[in-house]
Homo-oligomer: A and B are copies of this chain.
Amino acid sequence: MSTLRVTVWNEGRHEKKNPAVQKVYPQGMHTVIAQALQAQGLTVGTATLDEPEHGLTEAVLNQTDVLIWWGHLAHGEVQDEIVNRVHARVLDGMGLVVLHSGHFSKIFQKLMGTTCNLKWREANEKERIWVVDPGHPVAEGIGEYFEIEHEEMYGEHFDIPAPDSLVFVSWFAGGDVFRSGCAYHRGRGKIFYFRPGHETYPTYYQPEVQRVILNAVRWVGQPSGAKVTFGHRPQPLEPLSTT
C-alpha cells in the first residue's frame, strides 16, 4: 500500500484575527494536524482559504487521497466552484474528514443534504467521548472513552442523515449529548465527521484526538471499487424476448 497523500484545509482566519487563537496555534491549526500525520509517515500538504482557489486547485485535489476540512467564520467565502470540485472528487473516491465547525461548511451541507445545524455553547465544559461501535477502525487504540477537559459544547439535535456507522457519542457536563463520530459512504468516497476542535482550546495537540484523526484518515483513505459508469446503455446485457 502506497503512502496516503493528505491535504489539510483550514480556513485560517481565527489565527489571523484572534490573539487567543494565535497563542494556541501560532502556525495555524492545519500545521498542528499536518505535523501529527507526517509523524505517522503520511504525505501531508496544507491549503487555506486565502490562497488562490483556496489552495484546492485541480492539480492539488487530483493528488489528494484524503482531504481534511476545518472552517468556521467564512463558510460563505468558499467559492461554489471549489465546493463543486471537492464534491465531485469525493464522489469519485477521495476521502474527506470534516472537523468541528466544518459541520456548517458548504461542502458538508452539500454532501449531507440537510442543514447540519446543531446547538452550541462556549462554557469551558468537559466532553467525554464514548465509543459506541468498537468494531470500527476509527475507534482503534483510544480505549472505551476519552475526555477533553475543556471544549465548546455541541448538542443534539444535529441535523444530519443517520450515519452509516455511528462511532462516537459525546457526553457534556452541561447536560447535552452529541453524535461526535459519524462515518458515511457517498459515491465512491468515504466521509468521517469528527466533532472536537474549537479554535481557542489545544484540542488538536491531544494524543487521543490526533489518533482519531489518523484513524479517520486511514479509514476514508481505503481503496474504493472500480469506477462505475452512468447514462444511456442501449444494449441489454442479455437477449430480450421478442414476444
Contacts and interface: CB of A to CB of B under 8 A. Distances in A.
A224 interface: yes
Interface string A151-164: 00101111101101
Interface centre among A121, A143, A171 (most CB of B within 10 A): A171
A125 B171 contact: no
Contacts of A132: 156-158, 177, 179
Interface in A65-111: 91, 93, 110-111
A225 interface: yes
B164 A165 contact: yes
Contacts of A234: 121, 123
A128 B237 contact: yes
B233 A155 contact: yes
A119 B231 contact: yes
Contacts of A135: 93, 185-190, 224-225
Given A120-B233, A121-B233, A114 B187 contact: yes
A93 B118 CA distance: 17
Interface residues of A, number: 81
Nearest to A140: B223
How many subunits of this chain does the assembly comprise? Answer: 4
A174 interface: yes
A142 interface: yes
A122 to B, nearest CB: 8
A236 interface: yes
A186 B114 contact: yes
A241 interface: yes
Given A171-B171, A240-B123, A113 B115 contact: no
Interface centre among A225, A230, A233 (most CB of B within 10 A): A225
A128 B175 contact: yes
21 contacts: A114-B186, A115-B230, A117-B230, A118-B230, A119-B233, A121-B232, A125-B236, A131-B225, A133-B225, A134-B228, A139-B224, A140-B225, A141-B226, A144-B157, A144-B227, A153-B236, A156-B169, A165-B185, A171-B171, A171-B177, A176-B237
